Amino acid sequence: MPALTPLRSLVAAALCALAAILPAGPPAAAQTAAAQDVARGPSGLQLPRFVSLKSGRVNSRIGPGLNYAVDWMYLKPGLPMEIIQEYDNWRRVRDSDGAEGWINQSLLSGKRTGIVAPWQRGKDVAMELRSEPADTATVVAKVEPGVVGTIRICNGTWCEMSFDGNRGWISQSLVWGAYPGEYIQD
């Protein structure tokens, strides 16, 4: 055993010398590229991402295909859904209540919609729609939790949305259909 001690010392010294001349981590460009990496599905589009339902009758299935049983039927066109997985022309989606299922991509639209504070449904509260993206801006309307509207723009903190002819800004933290800090352009 004593014969290995000098060899271990030599290996340790070589590793220390190598560590001293090599950079501490990946180059800055590689770190930047890794930070900008986004998960992409087979379609090449970002996962997860929000979409909306095109039709007023959409079947959600327990698997990706017509041979799988229908688990749920959505009856509201424009309802936002979050795509969390892709398989061929099927998309695994999640709704605002957390229910998941598979929907054919032809029944989904890239049009961005959002639900106002679905977690507050059934409570006697109203969310304020403002004339500008600021807490001090004039209130132009009040919307109840669970109301679906069209997202026009989000600046990372506020979203400009329209609800049956009423248009204004609402805190992005109150919208299910836009990720926190996400920027959306119409």
Q: Return the sign of the alpha-carbon dihedral for residues 116, 146, 75, 100.
A: positive
Which pLDDT value is given to residue 34?
39
Is residue 44 within 8 Å of residue 88, measured between CB atoms? no
Alpha-carbon dihedral 58, 61, 64, 69, rounded to 10 degrees: -130
Residue 89 to residues 26, 66, 102: CA-CA distances in angstroms? 37, 11, 10
- The residues with which 127 forms a beta bridge, in sequence order, are 143
Dig out the tokens for 96 from the structure.
């605002």
CATH C-level class of 49-111: mainly beta
Is residue 165 within 8 Å of residue 181, measured between CB atoms? no
- The residues with which 101 forms a beta bridge, in sequence order, are 93
Is residue 100 within 8 Å of residue 84, measured between CB atoms? yes
Q: Which residues of the chain have pLDDT under 50?
A: 1-35
* Sequence ranges of the chain with CATH classification 2.30.30.40: 49-111, 114-184
User: What are 121-157's pLDDT values in tens digits?
Assistant: 888 888 999 999 999 999 999 999 999 999 999 999 9
Q: What is the pTM of this model?
A: 0.78
Which pLDDT value is given to residue 101?
98
Residue by residue, DSSP assigns 3-22 as THHHHHHHHHHHHHHHHHHS
CATH 2.30.30.40 fits 114-184, yes or no: yes
Which pLDDT value is given to residue 38?
74
Residue by residue, DSSP assigns 98-145 as S-EEEEEGGGEES--EEEE-GGGTTSS--EEEESSSSTTSPEEEEE-T
Is residue 105 within 8 Å of residue 91, measured between CB atoms? yes
Which pLDDT value is given to residue 37?
60
